[in-house]
Every structure is written in C-alpha cells, then in structure tokens.
Structure 1
Amino acid sequence: MSQSVLGSLTFGYRPFWNRPRALAGVQLFVHEDRQRIDGRHLLRTLAETWNADSPTLLLSIQTPEFLRDIASNAEAAGPMLEIPLGWMQDAGLRPAVRAAARRGVRMVASGVPTQIPDAEAAPWFERRLLRLAPEDAMDALRLAQVERDTTVFDRGMTHPGESSPVRPDALIDGVASRALAEHALDQQNAWAVAGWPSEDVLHGYGGQPLPPTRRAIVRVMNAIDAEESLERIDQLVSREAALVYALMLYLNSPGLGLPNRVASLRHGFMMIGFQRLSTWLSQQLPTASEDANLRPLNTSMAMRGHLVAQLMDAGIEDDLKREVYLCGLFSQLDLVMGEPLRTSFGRIPLTDRIVAATIAQNGPYAPALQLATALESSNPTALRNLRRTHAVDAEEVNRALLRMIAAGGF
C-alpha cells in the first residue's frame, strides 16, 4: 500500500444518529490535496482498518473525478458511497455508478428534497441523503406541530407526513433544532440524522448542569454486578463526561475522607472498591436524566476524547493515554456544566497539561486537541492550517481518525 494515499488527503467526519439516538454510522469527508490519487489504495486502506465492530461508513468524496474512481473500484463489502444527484450528468460518473450498483455497492443519493433520481438510477441507491434548506426545515417544523396537535383519530384519516420534506428511511442533513430531529426520527421514521442539534438540546436545560444519564449509570452498575474487570468499568464510566465529573467530585469530597486528592478514576475505584462505587451509583438514579437526546452529545464528546488519544498515541503508557482521553472528553465540559471550564476545573484535581490544552490552548496536548476539533468539520481549511502550524503529516492525522472510528464501541 502506498504511504502517499492518506498523506495526500484531508479528512473530516460527522456522526449520524438513528431513532434510539445511537450511532448509526459516520460520514467521512474526503478532500484531495493533490491530483491523481488512486481510489483503490484508499478503499484498500479502509478495508484493512475496518472490522466487524466498526460502524457503518459513508464516504463523501468532494470531487466528481475522484468519486468516479472510487465508484469504479468499490465493492459490496466496502463503505457506502454518497452520490450527489447534481453530479449524475457527468459523462464518466453515471456509468461508474451503474456498474457499482451491479456489484452490490451500497450507495446514497444526495440532494435537496425536490431532487429525485430518474427511473433508471432510482434502484441503484439504498436510500437518500436529504439536505434541508431553511425553508424545508420550516415546512417540516410546521407539520411536526400539526402532528402533535392532531388527534389520533384525525391522524389516521390522512397519510402521515405526506407534506413533509423529511422522508422515511432517509438520512437527513440540516437538522438544527431538537424539534426537527424529533420530527425526523420519531414522526417520519428517518433512517438517521447527520450531525446533532446539541446547542438547541442544551438550550432546553437553561444553562443548568446536566446530570448523568440513567442509561450510563445502569450500564456501569450491571458491569459491576457481572464482576467485569477494572479496565472495563473504567471504560464504561468514561463514556459520559457528566458521570466522570460527578464521580471525581465524589472521590474528592471531604466527606469521603480519602487521604489524597484523586485525579484518576481507576485509582479512585481501587481506593473505594466496587461495592461502594455501586452504592454511590444507585444513589444517583433518582436524579439521573432519561433524555435520549443527550446520547448523541455524550457520544460525540467521547469520540473526541478517543480521537485526541489516538492522535497522541506514540507508545505512551496507559495512565497517560487515559489522561489524554480525559483532556479531549473534558474539552467540552462547559457544555455539560453550563459554566466556564475554569470554574468546573477548579473543583477537581486535573493535571496542568489538561488545563493548559483546554483553557490556555497550549502545552503538549494542545496540538492533538486542536486537530481533533478541526476534524469534526467538512471544511478542510482549518485542519490544513493546523497541520502546517504543528508540522504534523496528513497521513498521521488521517490514520488516527480512521483508527478511532473503526474501533467502535462508543
């Protein structure tokens, strides 16, 4: 495999979320940094990285020429391909898409709701990716309100959602509000939404701290009951920033009476034992959140943590890996707590390296955190600038991203 393949591309990623608000897959934006890149090498790299536990991957190639090459070499077992309907008039792309469909390649037709594949092309696509314009979103929100206000009897008299630009089993882009996400997933049975309206979801909490979720607490309690390993318990707790923060407050509370400040969850668990941890977890259940709309936010924060750890992974020991992960996870703690990071960090012991990277944007972890944040975008400009600033190779960054996504288990 040529090492120049990942070194000649700039990636970005965006998760998409299904009706239970679980990760349905990841959209990988692929930008070329030079011409004449061999699509077969990229597809081979992905095949070597992915495994049975990896999430569904949707490749969003940014030029018709490179998409044509990818479609010409894609196989049924590979990633899904986004095919913009506006590019289907390209003389070389349409035959490549036709041939890919015959090989069983999974493809998604993207465009605005009024763009529909022609009769010949329609069977080639597994589903559509609908990009909602602001007016589409307004129409969908008006219909969502009608759906909520209509009685069950009246709703049965009409075809549900017949006027909505959000179509069943589609992947929906342009969802900027909680109400629109709920309309798409819960009323219209969309397959998934691309990205998540985290800002609007958090707005509903009025700046109040988010409690840990019941789902996260019960998951850890079940693992303790099953006598799973310390490593596994640590992993499960660390998936949710609110739970990690609440536990660190508890482990460092005067009432607990531990002799030293606890900056590591694993160290804290060994000091108090699993029985005491399980008791504390059970005490959190009455105030735990059952808001499923927080799940994408929590998972996205964990994905950033894992990505920072992958970007810093150069043979560092396990304790440092966990610290680097915590740096990425807590970089958005202000969203969880509804207050500046400095205020939240002042209540718990954190290393100077974490504080420097997240607040001062300097120190040894800052480059990895900045790169991880830039990768959460479809626009490659900021990432390319950061690579130059920190003298980091594109291949190194891209491999870290692919490892993070392929690992799954979020």
Structure 2
Amino acid sequence: MFDIAILGQVALGYSPFIDRSRNVTATRLTIFSLRPELALDAAELLHAVAGVWPAGGARVSLNVTSESLLRDLLGSGLPTNVMVEVPAFMAADEANVESIRRLHRDGIQLLIKGRPLTELPREILPCFKYSIIDVVDDRRLADPRPVPAGVTRSISHVQSGVRSVGAMDESFKRGAVAVLGWPFDDLSGQAASTRSTIHPDLQVIVELINQVDHEEPIERLEQTLKRDPSLAFKLMRYINSAAFGFQVEIGSFRHAIMLLGYQRLKRWLALLLATASKDADMQPVMFAAVRRGMLMEELTRATSDEAMRNEIFICGVFSLLDCMFRQPFDVLLKSLPVSERISQALLEQSGPYQPFLELVKAIESESRTDYLEAADGLLMSVTEINRAVLRSLGTAIQLG
C-alpha cells in the first residue's frame, strides 16, 4: 500500500491538534523535502495520505515545507477530511489566489501560517478557517491583558509549538481554539510527587501484567479481570478492533488468551495501562504513547524475532509512563516487569532499543535534521522509516 516513490524523497513528522477539552481532533503530518532540486509528485503524496486517512475518515492537516509541492497540492482535488497549511507569503501571492478560492469552495479547510509581509488580497482572507501562530511569535505574549469587549479576531487561531501543559493552558486563555504540539515537557517524572507509584484504579492492570509475565493459569487471570469490568470491556474492544485483523469476534478473555498467547496479551495490557488515565491533560500523552509503541514495532517489522517486536512495542508505550504518573522510571519499574533491554532504554537511555526511541522522538519533534541523524544511526532508509510511520498511524486509528 505504501510502495510509493515519494516516500524515499521526504522525511515525515507528526503531531496532534488538541482542542480546549484536551481531545486530539486531528493529526498534523509534516513533509520535508530531502532534495530541494527534485520535483515531488503531489498525486503520490495524496495517495500515501489516503492510505491512512481515507476520504470521510479521520482528519489530517498537511504541513508541506516544499513550496513547489505545496503549490501543486493547492491545485489538486482534495477530500474534505484533508486540511492544508498555507504559509502567509504564498497566500499573498496572486498566482495562488484562484487555487485557494477553489479549495475553499470545495469545502477544504485551509489554515494560514505565519504573518504576511504584504497585505493579503481581500478575497483570500475568508478562505482560511484558522491562522496558525507559533508560541514564540505570538505578540500577545508581551501583553497578557484580556482582549477588550467587542474586539474579535477575523480568524480564530491555532497555537503551534506548544510543549508543556502550562503553555497549553496559557494558549487557551489567550483564545486559541486548538494547540499543536506535544504538551508534556513539564510532566517529567523527575519532578515526582510523593503519592503511590501507580494509582489504585490501575492496580488490576499491573497485577494482570505481572500474572501474564509469570504465565499464571487462565483461571487466575480471569478472576483478576473480573474485579474490573470496565477494564475487561476495554481489553475486548482492543482485541476486536480492526488493528488485530481477526476474522471472528473474540467473545471471552479465555478465547483471547488462546489466540494471542501470553506475550502478545502482555503488550495489550501495557497499552491499557498507558491509556487508562482519566485526567484530560493526559489525552495527548496517551495519544503519543500508543503511536510510539506502534511505530517502534513497525520499525522492527522486518525482523523475524516476534519477542523483540513485542518488547519494543512495550518499550514505546511505556516510554511516557513517567509523564503520566509523575514518577521517575526507577520507581515505576519496581512495580512492572520489563526486560533488561526495555529497562536500559527507559532508565539509562542506552541499549539496543534506545536508537529506535530517539528516532521516534525526532519524528514527533518534526525535525528534519534530527530525523536524518537518527536514521543514519540505525542505518535505515527514509523509505523504510516513512512506511513505518504511515503504517503505525493507520493502525493507531484503527484502534479507535
């Protein structure tokens, strides 16, 4: 599905759109050209995007850094779930006016990025649903006073470059309708609280992970699971999702164990633990954790070592537990059985899984330089990496 030439010519990154309720409403896909002199095919890009975000499906915003590719994209037919970010200097260019107006008429959401150096054509401004303003460029940071009554912005804005819960809160106070970024830099476990390591509501999951790790009898696992019916429901929902690809519906926990086996079951319990928080501010963290696990597994898809793929999946999912539980990993991992390779990556930033985790972080940061450096360290081609990115994003969407 992703045997497409353009995936060898670009570097991909992604981040979430987060609304005021802290829900992730869309994914931003950033596309960096690796060779500016090479003409990129907009149709190939849209074909790759459609493999993850088909028409009528989840929403994606395309942040294309190549001016020529973006100009061709503006001239293409787009499904309405695909949004396009347009730099202000291109919006001010008369050569792009008709394409922008046509997309607007077709119901495509357009976002203007940055401040125009010249006045925009009058007919263009209404074509943009939102403006994207980076935190460091937001002139209102220097004037925290509330906007006077009766004064409104002509276009609602999305705040980009948000890296902490505090920055997210401030952005919404300044009137942002959404933020772009990963707001968990200030949730590090290094500033741990004194509360218990794992919240009591999650102890059933931790107990199950330990029981599965010891391959205890199914009857024991079933008894533990019965203590938390909501957990049992969520686990069965995961297992019956399209991501598993089972041809028959799994009707019981016992049936699931028989089909999955203990080690594959452990990885999905790890996913449950990483997505069990009821704290709204944790929604972006959980979004990232799922995708980290999926992406790290996809990056090792070529290996025949299933045990390694299961481990590296858990490593990715667990890599943000310190943010979720505000505890350092040396405390958290006393309660959770993990392999030495996972422990090395999370505790020591070393070992065979660490380079994969660094690549995932580079992709999340939407940094072309970090992406290429991490790719070189793993001796992986950009084609392999980009295919893994798209497959993992598609699988995460299937989980729901």
TM-score range, shorter chain: 0.7 to 0.9
> 2:120, 2:61 → 1: CA distance?
19
1:73 aligns to what SS in structure 2? Answer: coil
Contact kept, 8 Å, 1:88 with 1:94, in 2: the verdict is yes
Structure 1 residues 55, 299: CA separation in 2 closer, same or farther (over 3 Å shift)? Answer: same
Question: Please, what TM-score do these two structures have when normalized by structure 2?
Answer: 0.72
1:58 positional shift: 0.7
After superposition, give the CA deviation of every residue in 1:106-131 in whole Å (9 maximum; x if it has no partner): 31111249998542112322322223
Indicate the SS of the match to 1:327. Answer: helix
The letter for the 2-side match of 1:195 is G
**2:225 aligned residue (262, 265, 274):** 274
Counterpart for residue 60 of structure 1 = 63
Tell me whether 1:170 sits opposite 2:121 in the alignment. no
Please tell me whether the aligned partners of residues 11 and 32 of structure 2 are also in contact (alpha carbons under 8 angstroms). Answer: yes
Residue among 299, 318, 336 paired with 1:330: 318
- Tell me the matched-pair count: 352
- On the 8 A contact 2:187/2:326 being kept in 1, the answer is no
Structure 2 equivalent of residue 87 of structure 1: 90
Offset of residue 262 of structure 1 = 2.9
Residue 108 of structure 1, aligned match among 103, 111, 125: 111
Q: 2:266 is matched with which residue? A: none
Match of 2:146 among 143, 147, 167: 143
Map 1:113-128 to 2 at 5 A. Answer: 117-128=120-131
Which residue identity does 2:44 align to in structure 1?
Answer: H
Asked if 2 retains the 8 angstrom alpha-carbon contact of 1:5 and 1:38, the reply is yes
Q: Which residues in structure 2 correspond to 1:227-376 (within 5 Å)?
A: 243=202, 246-247=203-204, 249-251=206-208, 262=213, 270=221, 272-278=223-229, 291-314=279-302, 321-376=309-364
What TM-score, normalized by structure 1, do the two folds share? Answer: 0.71
Offset of residue 72 of structure 1: 1.7
Asked if the contact 2:12/2:363 (under 8 Å) is kept, the reply is yes
Name the CA distance, whole Å, in 2 between partners of 1:205 and 1:131.
27
Could you tell which deviates more after superposition, 335-344 or 121-130? Answer: 335-344
SS at match of 1:171: strand
CA positional deviation for 1:371: 1.7
Following TM superposition, by how much is the alpha carbon of 1:57 offset from its aligned partner in structure 2, in angstroms? 0.8
> Quick one: distance in 1 between partners of 2:116 and 2:198?
37
C-alpha distance in structure 2 between counterparts of 1:113 and 1:211, whole Å: 49
Q: Is the 8 A contact 1:334 1:341 kept in 2?
A: yes
Match of 1:229 in 2: none
Change (3 A) 1:263 1:116: farther
Instruction: Supply the AA of the counterpart residue of 2:225.
Output: F
Deviation per CA, 1:169-197, whole angstroms, max 9, x where unpaired?
43222445545533544783x43211143
TM-superposed CA distance for 1:23, in Å, is 0.9
User: Is contact 1:210–1:336 with CA below 8 Å preserved after alignment?
Assistant: no
**2:32 — aligned with what?**
31
Percentage of pairs with the same residue: 24
Q: Does 1:129 align with 2:132?
A: yes
Q: Does 1:11 align with 2:1?
A: no
Counterpart Cα distance in 1 of 2:219 and 2:341: 20
Question: Is this contact kept in 2: 1:141–1:180, CA < 8 A?
Answer: no
CA contact (8 A) 1:64 1:90 kept: no
* In 1: Cα distance, 2:8 partner to 2:347 partner: 31
Relative to 1, partners in 2 of residues 1:383 and 1:279: Cα closer, same or farther, differing over 3 Å?
closer
Answer with 318-327 or 66-75: which moved more.
318-327
Q: Aligned equivalents of 1:36 and 1:16: distance in 2?
A: 29
Moved more, 7-16 or 102-111: 102-111
CA 45–178 in structure 1, closer or farther in 2 if over 3 Å, else same:
closer
| 2:40 partner SS | coil
Cα contact 2:111–2:129 (8 A) shared by 1 = yes
Cα distance per residue 1:150-184 (max 9 Å; x no partner):
xxxxxxxx637x47x8x874322244554553354
Taking only aligned residues, the RMSD between alpha carbons, in angstroms, comes to 4.0
Contact kept in structure 2, 1:76 and 1:106, CA below 8 Å? no
